[in-house]
Structure 1
Amino acid sequence: MSIIESFRIALRALSANKLRSILTMLGIIIGVGAVIALMSVGQGVQQMVTEQLQSAGSNLLIILPGKLSDAQPGGGTQRRPANPLTNGDWRAINDPLLTPDLIAAVPEVDGYADVSHGKTTLRLNVTGTNDVFPNVRNYAVQEGRWISPEDIAGQARVVILGSKVAEELFAPGDFPLDQTIRINGIPFRVIAVMEEKGGGGFGSFDNYVFVPFTTAQQRLFPYLRSPRGEPTLSLILAKVVSEDRLDEATAQIENLLRQRHNITFLNEDDFSVINQADILDIFGSIIGVMNLFLGGVAAISLLVGGIGIMNIMLVSVTERTREIGLRKAVGAKRRHILTQFLVEAMVLSLLGGILGMILGFIGAQAIASLSEDLQSVVTLDAILLATGVSTVVGLVFGIFPALRASQLHPIDALRYE
């Protein structure tokens, strides 16, 4: 008997019990669907994060309060207790005599606040920064002007809106510039709207508002203070002269902050200096944890599906005992019976795999639709993995029923009632 004929017999046997076949394939469908959705969304997230980091420039350093420890069990990271970053730290880092490999350093004060105009109120991230932020972050003004040194010195109540914030606060045709909005009840004058940056729900600047960092420290978030009462910063951004000077610039910043924070060589740093590659590693760790969890769910589903296939094939062997005896009586060899039932198990598993791939594609698209900039990326590796897993599950869990069928004695099988 040829393999093609075995496939035909397998399809006829499965179509004769459609509901039973579908229920049997359910575990395979869920398992393969989870694998496809997981790999597609994970690849899409990684691609989106990489594009965002590339748009910001590869020569960017981020200085954070607190020390990021080594990878924790499960692939995560942990920030240890911080000694706050202050305006003095930023001024020192921004001094070209102390950090000659930096183009500029930018202070950031971040916090959430209620931003309102008319009857619309939004809970948004408010970023306080300085006049060189657009140059460091490769971010351009679409309309109006950016924060000036005079705004910073005078703690001016001026605000710059991300593109989506402007769309949500103001009606179409309503020009935002020079209008007044309120942040935590305090009136601010709109001086600019930024170009669309993208990034969806993963920290897009389009959903931010920007104010002078001195205004943020004194008017919006006055509670952000060091133990000595100094205004603190959420982070400091530093732009390096070139990518190949990242290590030198990092060393300059680390040595400077160790001196300012009185850290001896015996003590651990109370700050972290990370670059774009470090951020990708952190995201990779997060995605790795997700993969581990969802991979476990998929493995359990595939195991359940495989056991279901084995059980249903054993039932099929019992139901078709007389058929097996008749075929052996007219000359069928053990290998023919073995091949037939093994092919049936693999067809059942492969059909479940195909349906699972379709379900996975739909699920990945549904997840990606939650963010405008997130795309599900279906790779050939994902398809080959799903196909291979389905085949192996059918083969492994189909062997025992197939062997049992092939070992039936024709006389005993024909007598079976």
Structure 2
Amino acid sequence: MNRMFLNAFRLALSALARNKTRSALTVLGILIGVSAVVTVTALATAASEKVGGQLDSFASNAIFISARPSQHAGQRRTNTRLTDTDIRAIDREAVSVNGVAPFSGTIAQVVYADQNVATQIVGTTLPYFKVRKFTVERGQLWTDSDELLKTKVCLVGRTVANKLFRGEDPVGRIIRIGRAPYRVIGLLAPKGNSPFGDDQDDRIIMPVGSYRSRVSFTYGGKVDTIIASATSEETTDRAIRQITDILRQRHRLPQLAEDDFRIGSQDEFRRTEGAIAAVLSALLLGVAGVSLIVGGVGVMNIMLVSVSERTREIGIRMSIGAREGDILTQFLVEAVVLSSIGGVAGIALGMLAAFGLGFALDWRVVPSGIALTVALLTSSTIGIVFGYLPARRAAKMDPIDALRTE
């Protein structure tokens, strides 16, 4: 049996070598399909890891609470009822939350010496740094008394520091935001772009009291957004339920009334990203699958032509003792070899394309061994499926009619 397959393999290689151009064109469809499968799976995995890493660096199991817009006389308005007392209640009563902070932000002009830049100004409290995973590279955070006294201090991101100070150490410098002077007490460690594309280092963070009294005047302790952190990824849903119950009770909402706030979580972003990636991968894999089918049809057509051209050869082999199984095996092996060559070339091209795109996009691309194995097995299976009809036609030939063929 092994000898029969070995002879069939040798005959298949010699037959393909006699028609190099035709064989190369035949495997092209399979090559394109397999390379597309390898590239798509590798890039999908790399993209998922990249976005997942960005989400993990963006925040720690974050939960975002904001006011729900309401309709007033046909106009959509956001009348926030979120306040500092809501934050204190969540911090005190939600056992699955290990950090909660207000977030208020606006774009403002910042001046230092002869430099003038527009950047995001954030007003918040100390737990914000833990929730959003901001760390201090140089200098220090403000203190609780700075929050209480609305001290004019701030921390700057790397992008702001590069624009304003041009290589100088920003710590201890005095900058002007609006009409108020602020002392820079710390430089934030770089975080890069967020999963949403914004530069997380292009911001200045200050105590929320100072922000409300000098940058964006706010009264009554009102909050634009509340950012909380669940104790773990597994407790995120529980933390959301606890926050919802606390806010509904505090806002005195009737049982059937709609929430006057909205809650989103980092886990939702992760699930949405996964769903989008899955849909895109499925579409691209569908296109690759069509290419593989086209390649398989090409293999079948070429094998049918080969059977027609080698009818006399088949008759001679049968007349000297070759059985139907021998002829069937010969042409099946030839089809499998043809499609496997396309599969191997497709894997090589797909890996090259994946590594090239990964380098260009700065993604860590590691082709999956399972995906490579499946791609190779798929190409071999295509050879068997689409090569069976030509091989069976060759095996069922009448030896006498085959020998009469010129």
Q: Is the 8 A contact 2:96 2:238 kept in 1?
A: yes
Structure 2 residue 353 is the aligned partner of structure 1 residue 363? yes
Q: Is the 8 A contact 1:159 1:188 kept in 2?
A: no
Structure 2 residue 315 is the aligned partner of structure 1 residue 325? yes
The residue aligned with 1:307 is: 297
CA distance in 2, matches of 1:18, 1:110: 67
The residue aligned with 1:136 is: 131
CA distance in 2, matches of 1:339, 1:123: 74
The residue aligned with 1:32 is: 34
Cα 1:156/1:99, change in 2 over 3 Å: same
Cα 1:188/1:327, change in 2 over 3 Å: farther
Please show how residues 180-199 of structure 1 align to structure 2 within 5 Å.
192-197=186-191
User: How far apart are residue 187 of structure 1 and its match?
Assistant: 10
Q: Is the 8 A contact 2:68 2:261 kept in 1?
A: yes
Opposite residue 107 of structure 1, the aligned amino acid is P
Structure 2 residue 377 is the aligned partner of structure 1 residue 388? yes
Give CA deviations for 1:245-275 in whole Å, capped at 9, x if unaligned. 6455322210233346665443454645455
Look up the SS of the partner of 2:6 in the other structure: helix
User: How far apart are residue 382 of structure 1 and its match?
Assistant: 0.8
User: How far apart are residue 123 of structure 1 and its match?
Assistant: 9.8
Structure 2 residue 391 is the aligned partner of structure 1 residue 402? yes
CA distance in 2, matches of 1:212, 1:4: 76
The residue aligned with 1:79 is: none
CA distance in 1, matches of 2:338, 2:118: 51
Look up the SS of the partner of 1:378 in the other structure: coil
Q: Is the 8 A contact 1:11 1:344 kept in 2?
A: yes
Look up the SS of the partner of 1:375 in the other structure: coil
CA distance in 2, matches of 1:402, 1:115: 78
Cα 1:148/1:97, change in 2 over 3 Å: closer
Give me the TM-score of the superposition, normalised by structure 1. Answer: 0.75
Q: Quote the sequence identity (%).
A: 36
Cα 1:203/1:117, change in 2 over 3 Å: farther
Structure 2 unaligned blocks of 5 or more = 70-75
Cα 1:243/1:43, change in 2 over 3 Å: closer
Q: Is the 8 A contact 1:87 1:107 kept in 2?
A: no
CA distance in 2, matches of 1:115, 1:29: 56
Give CA deviations for 1:137-159 in whole Å, capped at 9, x if unaligned. 33311123446674897696955
Opposite residue 143 of structure 1, the aligned amino acid is R
User: How far apart are residue 295 of structure 1 and its match?
Assistant: 1.6
CA distance in 2, matches of 1:141, 1:40: 36
User: How far apart are residue 379 of structure 1 and its match?
Assistant: 2.1
CA distance in 2, matches of 1:370, 1:218: 46
Which segment drifts farther, 213-222 or 36-45?
213-222
Question: Match for 2:47 among 45, 49, 64?
Answer: 45
Give me the TM-score of the superposition, normalised by structure 2. Answer: 0.77
The residue aligned with 1:78 is: none
CA distance in 2, matches of 1:301, 1:115: 56
CA distance in 1, matches of 2:30, 2:116: 47
User: How far apart are residue 346 of structure 1 and its match?
Assistant: 1.0
Look up the SS of the partner of 1:392 in the other structure: helix
User: How far apart are residue 22 of structure 1 and its match?
Assistant: 2.2
User: How far apart are residue 231 of structure 1 and its match?
Assistant: 7.3
The residue aligned with 1:74 is: none
Structure 2 residue 351 is the aligned partner of structure 1 residue 351? no
CA distance in 1, matches of 2:116, 2:295: 50
Structure 1 unaligned blocks of 5 or more = 68-81
Greater Rg by CA:
2
Q: Is the 8 A contact 2:153 2:207 kept in 1?
A: no
Structure 2 residue 249 is the aligned partner of structure 1 residue 253? no
Q: Is the 8 A contact 2:67 2:82 kept in 1?
A: no
Give CA deviations for 1:366-402 in whole Å, capped at 9, x if unaligned. 3322444x31232222122112211211111111111
Give CA deviations for 1:302-354 in whole Å, capped at 9, x if unaligned. 11111111111112112222222222222211111111111111111111111
Cα 1:255/1:344, change in 2 over 3 Å: same
CA distance in 1, matches of 2:111, 2:306: 67
Q: Is the 8 A contact 1:65 1:83 kept in 2?
A: no
Count of aligned residue pairs for this structure pair:
394
RMSD: 4.4
Q: Is the 8 A contact 2:119 2:204 kept in 1?
A: no
Which segment drifts farther, 319-328 or 153-162?
153-162
Opposite residue 99 of structure 2, the aligned amino acid is A
CA distance in 1, matches of 2:348, 2:114: 44
Which segment drifts farther, 142-151 or 333-342?
142-151
Q: Is the 8 A contact 1:105 1:236 kept in 2?
A: yes
Q: Is the 8 A contact 2:35 2:349 kept in 1?
A: yes
Q: Is the 8 A contact 2:81 2:222 kept in 1?
A: yes
Please show how residues 246-285 of structure 1 align to structure 2 within 5 Å.
246-259=236-249, 263-269=253-259, 271-285=261-275
CA distance in 2, matches of 1:12, 1:383: 27
Q: Is the 8 A contact 2:139 2:186 kept in 1?
A: yes
Please show how residues 178-257 of structure 1 align to structure 2 within 5 Å.
192-197=186-191, 203=197, 207-212=201-206, 233=224, 235-241=225-231, 246-257=236-247
User: How far apart are residue 17 of structure 1 and its match?
Assistant: 2.3
The residue aligned with 2:72 is: none
